[in-house]
């Protein structure tokens, strides 16, 4: 059964890490309402949601995706690139231990789950301020026995690889070609975001269904023209903390 780990929005989210965005006020109650609506959409899609309690002292901890990479055969605990985010991993160890054998990236490796795009047995890791070659080499070592390849992909202009490209179908990616090269994903087809919506490439795939934001109507029209009809949920308040839809859950087959 599809299962999602989520975590309540921290009361300290106003102190979140920001890399490419200016700090603007975040309405905590609105962020919590949007996060609740997000969990409800997952439930509507038949996902069993396991919400973890709030971490009052970890501002970015709602973005649980960054703490682990969950595959069918095992899971890799990350070592997040921002020091303020490293403590987020401990509670995820407890949450995942019942489901998967756990590997763990060690120093000097750093990787955020938001930089990791898994397409079948190919794992693409964004080479960003958060994720480095040492982590890629450790992941190669852990995952080679299961038949995965792991390779780095240059990313410019955004925080994470999955701000620039996400999967919408088995062989199709939604991509912002200004931030990541299509040629780094051989064998894939692409839908490009509307150039006026650079942050629009983050779509959450839940089984074969998609979840998307109403904030990007022109790119939504491109998805619909390609035959995709995602469920919509507004995550605009969380976006002020430089997080997107995929960031807010770890979804896996339990």
Q: Which residues bind ligand GLY (CB under 6 A)?
A: 16-17, 19, 60, 63, 82, 85, 159, 241-243
Residue 80 beta carbon to ligand GLY: minimum distance, rounded to whole angstroms: 7
Residue 68 beta carbon to ligand GLY: minimum distance, rounded to whole angstroms: 14
Residue with tokens 């309540």: 8
Q: Which residues are catalytic?
A: 160, 247
Residue 242 beta carbon to ligand GLY: minimum distance, rounded to whole angstroms: 4
CA atoms 218, 223, 224, 225: torsion sign:
positive
Give the span between the Cα atoms of 24 and 14, in whole angstroms: 9
Give me Rg for the CA atoms of the chain.
Answer: 17
Residue 64 is given by DSSP the state G
Nearer to ligand GLY, 100 or 160 (CB): 160
Burial-class residue 99 by CB neighbours within 10 Å (0-12, 13-18, 19+): middle
- Cα dihedral: 142, 148, 153, 155 (round 10): -80
Nearer to ligand GLY, 100 or 240 (CB): 240
Which residue from 66, 45, 49 is spatially nearest to 232, judged by alpha carbons? Answer: 45
Phi-psi region of 207 (alpha: psi -120 to 50; beta: other; left: phi over 0): left
Residue 228 beta carbon to ligand GLY: minimum distance, rounded to whole angstroms: 27
The residue number with the shortest CB distance to ligand GLY is 17
Which residue from 206, 227, 203, 204 is spatially nearest to 216, judged by alpha carbons? Answer: 203
Nearer to ligand GLY, 78 or 219 (CB): 78
Nearer to ligand GLY, 18 or 93 (CB): 18
């Amino acid at each position: 059964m599809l299962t999602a780990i989520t975590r309540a929005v921290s009361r300290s989210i106003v102190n979140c890490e920001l890399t490419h965005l200016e700090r603007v006020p975040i309405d905590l109650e609105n962020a919590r309402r949007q996060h609740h609506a997000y969990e409800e959409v997952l439930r509507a899609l038949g996902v069993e949601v396991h919400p973890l309690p709030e971490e009052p002292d970890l501002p970015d901890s709602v973005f649980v995706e960054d703490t682990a990479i969950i595959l069918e055969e095992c899971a890799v605990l990350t070592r997040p690139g921002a020091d303020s985010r490293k403590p987020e991993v401990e509670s995820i160890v407890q949450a995942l231990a019942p489901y998967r054998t756990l590997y763990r990236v060690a120093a000097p490796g750093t990787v955020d789950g938001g930089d990791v795009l898994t397409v079948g047995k190919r794992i693409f890791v964004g080479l960003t301020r958060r994720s480095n070659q040492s982590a890629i080499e450790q992941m190669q070592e852990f995952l080679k026995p299961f038949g995965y390849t792991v390779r780095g992909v240059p990313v410019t202009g955004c925080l994470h690889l999955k701000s620039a490209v996400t999967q919408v179908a088995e062989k199709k990616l939604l991509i912002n070609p200004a931030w990541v090269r299509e040629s780094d994903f051989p064998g894939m087809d692409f839908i490009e975001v509307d150039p006026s919506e650079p942050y629009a490439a983050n779509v959450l795939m839940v089984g074969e269904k998609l979840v998307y934001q109403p904030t990007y109507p022109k790119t939504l029209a491109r998805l619909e023209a390609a035959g995709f009809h995602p469920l919509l949920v507004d995550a605009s308040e969380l976006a002020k903390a430089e997080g997107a839809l995929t960031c807010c859950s770890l979804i896996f087959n339990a």
